[in-house]
Amino acid sequence: MPASVGTVRIAELEPAMQLNTHLIYGLLICVLLISIPHAEHLPFWVSSLSVMLLVWRTYLAYCNRPLPPRWLLFAVMAGSVGGILIGFHTLFGREAGVTLLILLAALKLLELRSARDATVVIYLACFVIITGFFYSQSMLTALFMLATLTVILATWVHLQSGTLALRPRLRIAGILLLQAIPLAFILFVLFPRVEGPLWGLPQDAYTSSGLDDRMSPGSVGKLALSDAVAFRVMFKDHPPQRDQMYWRGPVLWDFDGHTWTQGRGSFKPPQLDSLAYPIDYTVTLEPQNKNWLFALEMPTQISIPAAMTYDFQLRQNSPVTSRERYSAHSQLGYRANAEEDPRQLQRALTFPYNSNPRAQQLAREWHNNSTSDEAVISTALAYFNREGFHYTLSPPQLGANEIDDFLFGTRKGFCEHFASGFVFLMRAAGIPARVVTGYLGGEYNDLGDYYIVRQSDAHAWAEVWLRRRGWVRIDPTAAIAPARVELGMAAALPESDSAALPLMVRAQSPALINVPSWLVNVRFKLDALTNKWNLWVLGYNPERQFAFLTRMGMEEITWQRMAFAMMAGMALLVGFFTLLMLRQLTVRNIDEVQRLYLKFCRALAKKGIVRETHEGPQDFAARAAQIKPQFAPAIADITARYAALRYGQSDAMDVNGIQALRRAVAAFKL
Amino acid sequence: MGNSLHNVITQAEQVILGKPHQIRLALACLLARGHLLIEDLPGVGKTTLAHALARSLGLQFQRIQFTSDMLPADILGVSVYQRESGDFKFHPGPIFAQMILADEINRATPKTQSALLEAMEEQQVTTEGITRPLPSPFFVIATQNPTYQIGTFPLPESQLDRFLMRIQLGYPGEQAERGLLAGVERREIVSRLIPQMEAAELLALQQQVKQVFVSPALLDYAQAILRHTRESARYVHGLSPRAGLSLLAAARGWAFLDGRSAVIPEDVQAVLPGVASHRLQSVQDVQISDGDKLARELIEAVAIP
């Protein structure tokens, strides 16, 4: 006896739930979809191993072969964990964790034996899908995840329902998602946001691309090839002229013959007077992993905590790792540090004396032949303008004495070459000068009424200190390529260079109409949408939440109130959907006749005679009469009346017939 | 229901023992002006059933034994040259009868099969450019051997669809078989059967069947069935609208046989295996004999609204 019981158990376990091949394909697609967004940053061996496992599983399902033995899976598993440990030195954290999860999901497919395993894969897929947000939070990513989630849900419906065809499956999944949207909305709007590391992503989630705090030949030109957005600006009133849109970034003082750096030391606090032309605007800064903020020259107020350095840079205490939004107030007319500390000026005159002798020589000549500093400056600008200098994205290599080489040899350069050369000449001529980097201009998006400043708008210019006038901006690039300042980069570059520019940068220029206008329009629309997404979805932080809820009429916003409102909203929604479903389930078609008949059925059901949903009235009556012969006549009577009213040709409004049925059902007591 | 119809059933039950349900299905099919396909092993009484029905209903009866070397002209008829008059005279084929028993239809080549099936659909025959109407009423009862047997040309789906119903007879029960073995030879009984009605009466009954009422609630049920076959992944194709019409027509016939003036869900359920089993194909390729099982699954899967 015990032996036979044992064999039965084994027989039950082994072939137990033969999972449908189509379901297995569905699960394979789920795992593939959740892995795709990670493909670019997974180690190569992980990607290829995952693909191999998926192909293996597909082959097994296709040929209906048995699954591999457990020890083999265990070996693969152990190898994977070892590989991750060697590669990442940990099993936790973003990279290692995601890698491990993806491998586990692929491996789990190879031990897919029962419905329970399938459920595990589906839950795992739902979890891994979130990890995509560790790497990208763009709208496109969100859309892809939504699509993936639909597929996962459809697979889940397949698992639950068994026989449903693909289309109704997708429909059910879609309905589930649609029902979830209001819930997600309530959670999103009301879930108390806490500022702090809990919500932040790890430091390595951000890659920095953008201006650096050092400048050497080619460093700005490199940025010109990127159409990534640096920040977006919305002006409160009229935007300034394009040639006034100098977005101030890092200021560079120290030069070692090749690289300009910020240097250290502050001797005198920043001081602005003779202010004119005020302007108000709001900046949405993309994460850049740097401390500085960008503002029009010269900023006087900013809405977030930031300090103004001695050389008029806006700096935060911590790097900008999430999208930052601030409003600022600038004065386009100003006098900056008219009284400057002598030690500061000394710094602005320093240069490596043993390099670039020809440039030094030239500067000294200018100094000796001129009556004033202003005259030297105009001589220098005229020199750039007349001596055959070219503005180009691809300047030739420079030799050991870079400035000399550029000024007297190649004469081809990008803005950093001109800024660097100009400041060197000024210093050699005894005029304090420094390099300022930042962005120039911006592209107007008329659909969103804001300006997009891209990395390709990066620029470098110079500042010289003049007695009584303080630091004055001089843009040597304007002397060679005025179009760069007035129209934008694409207009300033020769045709051959502009082909290398990103499409969007080229499109800005009215002079080059080689980009169809509808394409520009589509891109503008997309960017306007992205801006909205950034503002309202990704940038929905405590402040915005507070502002939004206040505007919605909520008073005294505390997290308890928000939590309460959230729960109440969820309860209301869930209740609403439940009612809707119940209505569909039971109350559908509840005309009076049907209601009376269902009452009759309930009376019988209480005695254990339950009508199957597919059981017709006569079949049911016959069965009921067999079980309760003493009530056979009453059952037959009610059934006949019901059938006549529901299926017969009698008038639907046959009041007498319905009355008779009602009496009969009321009198029916078991 | 007329008394005569009741007598037809009684007579048929005396010939085919233990198969009252199949007899009623066959009659319901005829009353709904549909053609009937009987599929089963040789020797379970297919021909006898057809013959008995024809005799009892008082219809001209022609039996066509299908063979693999048969030509369409063997069924439809042929024009022969008359030496005396000098022109051609049409000799009608066996199809010019009120009830045709097309025996072992799947032993003929597709060309010959389609000649018969065309006649079934059009109720007329066209040879040498002249169209000749077939008699009325016109029924075809076709029998077919299971397709896995040797020497068969299975009917394609499109032609199976021409048959309102497909039924199976199956082996008789223990008791019925005893009666069969102990009793007189079936052929003798059939030849002694008395016609219970005339063709005109049958035509009138068919008109009455058309009047059987179908309520909106029942249409809901029929549509629920059709929808289920289309949404479920169990079947290769869902049921066609024509199958839906056939289902209602057959259900009307069944309700009429039961003496009711309106169709109830049970009528639909009773004819559904006959109407749907040859039109549904399971995704998992099972044998044709499982068509009935599929139809029963279908009944259980659809709730009566």
Structural domains of chain B in order of their starting residue, each with its CATH number: 3-200 (3.40.50.300), 212-301 (1.10.8.80)
In a domain? residue A332: yes
Whether A201 shows a pLDDT value over 70: the answer reads: no
B215, B261, B266 ranked by CB distance to A646: nearest: B215
Q: Please report the pLDDT score of residue A66 as a whole number.
A: 85
Looking at the structure, tell me whether residues A458 and A344 fall in a common domain.
yes
Q: Which of A508, A530, A560 is the last residue of a domain?
A: A508
**Mean pLDDT for the stretch of residues B152-175:** 83
Overall average pLDDT of the B167-179 stretch? 85
Is residue A385 in some structural domain? yes
Say how many CB pairs under 8 Å bridge A and B: 62
* The two structure tokens encoding residue B261: 């003036």
Range of the domain at A611: 592-667
With CB atoms and an 8 Å threshold, state whether A163 touches B262: no
Confidence of residue A319 (pLDDT cuts 50, 70, 90): confident
Report the range of poorest mean pLDDT among A129-138, A214-223, A467-476, A644-653.
A644-653
CB B8 within 8 A of CB B263: no
Percent of chain B with pLDDT over 70: 95
Q: What is the dihedral of CA B265, B270, B273, B276, to 10 degrees?
A: -50
Contact A165 B213 (CB under 8 A): no
Beta bridge partners of A235: A281
Say how far apart CA A522 and CA A61 lie, in whole Å: 44
Pair A136, A243 in one domain? no
Closest by CA to A103, choosing from A81, A119, A134, is A81
Confidence of residue A285 (pLDDT cuts 50, 70, 90): confident
Domain shared by A419 and A357, yes or no: yes
Selecting from A163, A165, A647 the residue whose C-beta is nearest the C-beta of B215 gives: A647
Q: Which member of B261, B300, B304 has the closest CB to residue A616?
A: B304
Residue A207 belongs to a domain: no
Q: Is residue A122 very low, low, confident or very high in pLDDT (cuts 50, 70, 90)?
A: very high
For residue A195, what pLDDT is reported? 55
As a whole number, mean pLDDT of residues A318-334 equals: 86
pLDDT band at B25 (very low <50, low <70, confident <90, very high): very high
Per-residue tokens: B98:
């009120």
Give yes or no for residue A584 having a pLDDT over 80. Answer: no
pLDDT of residue A508 exceeding 70: no
Q: Read off the pLDDT of residues A216-239 as tens digits, 9 standing for 90 and up.
A: 888 887 787 777 788 889 898 888
Cα–Cα distances in angstroms (integers) from residue A635 to residues A105, A518, A619, A659, A665, in the given order? 57, 74, 11, 17, 9
Q: Pick the range with the lowest mean pLDDT from A311-315, A581-585, B110-114, B155-159.
A: A581-585
How high does pLDDT run on average in chain A? Answer: 82
Same domain membership, residue A345 and residue A309: yes
Query: B-chain residues within 8 Å CB-CB of A618?
Result: 264, 266
Reference B69, options B103, B106, B109, B113; nearest CA is: B109
Domain shared by A166 and A254, yes or no: no
Residue A29 has pLDDT above 90, yes or no: yes
The pLDDT value recorded for residue A498 is 57
Q: Give residue B193's pLDDT.
A: 83
Nearest by CB: B232 against A165, A616, A619: A165
ipTM of the complex: 0.82
Does the pLDDT value for residue B159 go beyond 50? yes
Spatial contact of A348 and A263, defined as CB atoms under 8 Å apart? no
Strands of the A292-293 sheet, one edge to the other: A292-293, A314-315, A307-308
| Contact with chain B for residue A646, Cβ under 8 A | yes
For the segment A141-157, what is each residue's pLDDT rounded down to a tens digit?
Answer: 889 999 999 999 999 98
Whether A617 and chain B come into contact, CB under 8 Å, resolves to yes
* Residue A335 forms part of a structural domain: yes
The fraction of chain A above a pLDDT of 70, given in percent, is 87
Asked if pLDDT for residue B134 goes beyond 90, the answer is: no
Cβ atoms of A315 and A279 within 8 Å: the answer is: no
pLDDT at A71 over 80: yes
- pLDDT band of B291, cuts 50, 70, 90: low
Instruction: Please give the average per-residue pLDDT across B205-216, as a whole number.
Output: 90
How many C-beta atoms lie closer than 10 Å to residue A21's C-beta? 11
Is residue A553, in this structure, part of any structural domain at all? no
Task: Tell if the CB–CB gap between A165 and B231 is shorter than 8 Å.
Answer: yes
**Segment 49-78 of chain B within 8 Å of chain A by CB:** none
Give the active site residues of A: 415, 459, 475
Q: Which of residues 249-268 of B touch A (CB under 8 A)?
A: 261-266
Question: Which of B210, B215, B221 best tests the A interface by mutation, with the highest count of A CBs <10 A?
Answer: B215
Average pLDDT of the segment spanning A190-206: 54
DSSP 8-state assignment for residue A535: I
CB atoms inside a 10 Å sphere around CB B79 = 14
Segment B75-99, tens digit of pLDDT? 888 888 888 887 888 888 888 888 8
Residue A329 and residue A230 share a domain:
yes
Residues A504 and A637 in one domain: no
Characterize the bridge pairing of strands B36-39 and B139-144: parallel
Pick from B98, B72, B287: which is nearest to B198 by CA?
B98
Which of A458, A487, A508 terminates a domain? The answer is: A508
What is the per-residue pLDDT for A204?
A: 43
Across the range A484-508, mean pLDDT stands at 61
CB within 8 Å: B213 and A614:
no
For chain A, how many structural domains are there in total? 3
Query: Which one of B217, B233, B234 has the shortest CB-CB distance to A647?
Result: B217
Per-residue pLDDT for A371 more than 80?
yes
Query: What per-residue confidence (pLDDT) applies to B147?
Result: 64
If you measure CA to CA, which chain B residue comes closest to A22? B233
Burial class (CB in 10 A: 0-12, 13-18, 19+), A210: buried
In a domain, A513, yes or no: no
pLDDT band at B288 (very low <50, low <70, confident <90, very high): very low
Q: Is B266 in Cβ contact with A616 (below 8 Å)?
A: yes
Task: Classify residue A130: in a domain, yes or no.
Answer: yes
Asked if A104 and A228 sit in the same domain, the reply is no
Q: What is the pLDDT of residue B194?
A: 84
CB contact under 8 A, A617 and B261: no
Measured between CA atoms, the residue of chain B closest to residue A165 is B233
| Domain co-membership, A114 together with A52 | yes
Q: What's the average model confidence in pLDDT over B179-184? A: 82
Q: Does the structure show a pLDDT above 80 at A394?
A: no
Nearest to A54 by CA among A99, A109, A98: A109
Q: Say yes or no to pLDDT of A7 above 80.
A: no
Using pLDDT thresholds of 50, 70 and 90, give the confidence band for residue A166: confident
Q: What is the CA radius of gyration of chain B?
A: 20
Out of A189-198, A271-280, B282-291, pick the least confident: B282-291
Average pLDDT over residues B48-70: 86
Q: Which residues of A touch B305 (CB under 8 A)?
A: 588-589
Contact A613 B303 (CB under 8 A): yes
Closest approach of chain B CAs to the CA of A154, in angstroms? 14
CA distance B301 to B292: 14
Are A279 and A185 in a shared domain?
no
Check residue A512 and give its pLDDT.
47
Q: Would you list the DSSP string of B225-279? A: HHHHHHHBTTBSSPPPHHHHHHHHHHHHHHHHHTT-SB--HHHHHHHHHHHHTTT
Residue A534 counted as domain residue: no
Q: Are residues A388 and A266 in the same domain?
A: yes
Higher pLDDT, B296 or A33: A33
Residue with more model confidence, A208 or A120: A120
* Bond prior to A542 in cis (omega within 30° of 0): no
A304 and A355 together in one domain: yes
Q: Report yes or no: B102 and B84 within 8 Å, Cβ to Cβ.
A: no
| pLDDT on residue A13 | 38
The answer to whether residues A413 and A406 touch, using CB atoms and an 8 Å cutoff, is yes
Q: Which amino acid is at B149?
A: Q
For residues B213 and A486, the model is more confident at: B213
User: How far is B109 from chain A, CA to nearest CA, in Å?
Assistant: 36
pLDDT tier for residue A78 given thresholds of 50, 70 and 90:
very high
Residues of A in contact with B302 (CB under 8 A): 614
Residue B65 main-chain phi, psi, to 5 deg: -90, 115
Between chains, do A614 and B301 touch, taking CB under 8 Å as contact?
yes
